[in-house]
Chains A and B, each alone.
Chain A
């Protein structure tokens, strides 16, 4: 007979303790999942943008106008920009269903994000904001706070890659020509009580987090439906 190191009653207590820990652990994770999951809140979509000045992609008369508050150094924004946004561009923006306007929300925790916003704003002067936007997010690990103390030198390489006129871009960056615009965009995010990046305003919903394409599309559909005129039934059914 196998040697038993614990008495049945003690082993019963031990198993009971493990079961209690497992139940508490599962309950805690379930609670945190429900309490902290990305949830949309209803907001007033007509709040004016104030001094903020975003960067639009798509048709400004598209039926659904989306606002994104993003931070170039935020990995979650990078994840959205590189994984989800290409689908949004090809399936929603290119088809004229939506237009997306990006507003900078540089967060204090990211030392190099102001340089990125500045670089992108200066690229916008030459009509290449989105090219710089994409390159910055693709190369986030090359210029973020952990990677370098001189992010502009990395961004200079991106500016060359996307074909900017370097002297103009460099002097714009050096002068921090668009600092007020970036500050305005940030102030707008704070005024709207944006808590994290990225955050999207889609119709009357404020949606935090790097949501999936399907979730994004569902918000777009519901915003479009809310705008669409309600059609009366063609004919009442005969009784």
Chain B
């Protein structure tokens, strides 16, 4: 499996994780109750939404964009692999900053850790590393 394929596969997995959190936040999965777990505390805090949308929904959109870019790069659709690699590096770089900010909020402001959010943050970081490596490969090629 090459780096673009790995990015697509990890992004797809991340999409389902973010979709689960979005559905949970919107009340379609689970009871949205407050009795258990850090995820509820995090999701139901005032930082659970960003620009009018659940943060997890932004995450789902990010993963869809990453997955689409990686697939397009793999099959040379829409744009050149080099351009798409740049786009993936930029998106995942922004993702790392955003995830870092969210993790800081969990630790310093909300005082609760959502394990799914941590998994997502790690996933975003791995995607960033793979994107940078892919961009380097494109430049060398």
Contact = CB atoms under 8 A, between A and B. Distances in A.
B is bound to A: yes
Contacts of A154: none
Contacts, number: 109
Given A5-B74, A36-B29, A210-B27, A75 B13 contact: no
Secondary structure dominating the interface of B: helix
Interface residues of B, number: 33
Interface in B20-44: 20, 23, 27-36, 41, 44
B123 to A, nearest CB: 13
A5 B81 contact: yes
A25 B29 contact: no
A116 interface: no
Nearest to A26: B16
Nearest to A194: B35
A112 B45 CA distance: 14
Given A18-B8, A146-B110, A71 B34 contact: yes
B50 interface: no
B107 to A, nearest CB: 13
Interface of B: 1, 5, 8-9, 12-13, 15-16, 19-20, 23, 27-36, 41, 44-46, 71, 74-76, 81, 109-110, 112
